Structure 1
Amino acid sequence: MTIRTSPFVAAPQLVQQLMDYGRTLLTDGFEQALVRLVAIRTSQINGSAAGLQLYYLEARKQGPADLRLDLVVAWRETDFFNARERAALGWAEALTRVAEARVSDEAFDAMKAQFTDEEHVRLTLMIGVFNSFNGLAAGHGVKATSDARPQTS
């Protein structure tokens, strides 16, 4: 697939606004490990190689290799994730797959047990931002490249 239209070239101000909005959600927000796990999981579900490349690179810059990054795809099958991370991952899956399965009471209850009302809203909006970036990449043909950054033009 070739890039159809680079959103970063065609509408840089709009993309910047989305990036700024995402940063606003993260300010005084969640622990960075949780954010990285949710970003990676939403990109896995969406099949966004560009998103995965970007979020894995960002996560790997934060410190030594974290085996959890490689196992997030199978988070239910391991004990590597704490209750808060598991709730966030379940919520991310539920919202990313909302058209397929709706949001279950189980996913909501798990999330509600680990997050305050404000954090719940923040987490929901953050997942929406990750899904928006995945959609931009998929819709515009942005792809992962071997030169360490997703191709954007």
Structure 2
Amino acid sequence: MTDAVNIGKEHPEIYKAQLALDKTVSESAMAAGLDALLIELVKIRISQLNGCAFCLRMHTRDALAKGESTDRLAVLPAWWESQYFSDTEKAALALAEQATELGVPEQRTWADGSLTTEQQSALTWLAVVMNGWNRIAIMSHYPVGP
């Protein structure tokens, strides 16, 4: 028995469906008025919560390439305690965390009017897909090295 199975290689048709869903969700997020940096921040924060080194490295690099600052990335794990993030970004990060952790009772700290209903929906789908990617990478033991 092996330690890990690369589930994307084992079932490539499902992996391709995940890729297609990811593309549709990203397009919907942009159409809802969410900027590319915010989308990367959400992906990074979800990956931090899930402990996915592969996705953290990939989306941190993507965020830096899109102009994100190292200061904001450094404080992202404690975003609520910093003054680096706008109300919209804070609401988006809170919603992404709730969709990732599914805490009970439901915490709706993000529902402060900073996000439209279209943005709320797009961010929830973004979190659903990113959580899926994290689980694919973690369960497949994607290599992450220098």
User: In structure 2, do the counterparts of structure 1 residues 136 and 102 end up closer, same or farther at CA, with 3 Å as the change threshold?
Assistant: farther
Show the 5 A alignment for 1:59-70: 59-63=63-67, 65-70=69-74
Aligned residue type for 2:120 = H
Show the 5 A alignment for 1:71-150: 71-98=75-102, 100-105=103-108, 107-110=109-112, 113-146=113-146
Give CA deviations for 1:53-73 in whole Å, capped at 9, x if unaligned. Answer: 110011111236431012100
User: In structure 2, do the counterparts of structure 1 residues 5 and 26 end up closer, same or farther at CA, with 3 Å as the change threshold?
Assistant: same
CA contact (8 A) 1:25 1:126 kept: no
CA contact (8 A) 1:8 1:15 kept: no
Give CA deviations for 1:88-113 in whole Å, capped at 9, x if unaligned. Answer: 11111111000x434313x2423xx1
User: In structure 2, do the counterparts of structure 1 residues 140 and 86 end up closer, same or farther at CA, with 3 Å as the change threshold?
Assistant: same
Cα RMSD for the two superposed structures: 2.2
Tell me how many residue pairs correspond in the alignment.
142
1:139 positional shift: 1.7
TM-score under structure 1 normalisation? 0.80
CA contact (8 A) 1:43 1:49 kept: yes
- Partner of 1:109: helix, strand, or coil? coil
Aligned residue type for 1:127 = A
1:80 positional shift: 0.8
Matched, 1:36 2:36: no
Structure 1, gaps ≥5 residues long? 147-153
1:6 positional shift: 4.9
* CA distance in structure 1 between the aligned counterparts of 2:53 and 2:99, rounded to whole angstroms: 19
Which of 14, 25, 29 lines up with 1:26 in the alignment?
A: 29
Structure 2, gaps ≥5 residues long? none
CA contact (8 A) 1:95 1:127 kept: yes
* CA distance in structure 1 between the aligned counterparts of 2:3 and 2:74, rounded to whole angstroms: 28
Aligned residue type for 1:122 = A
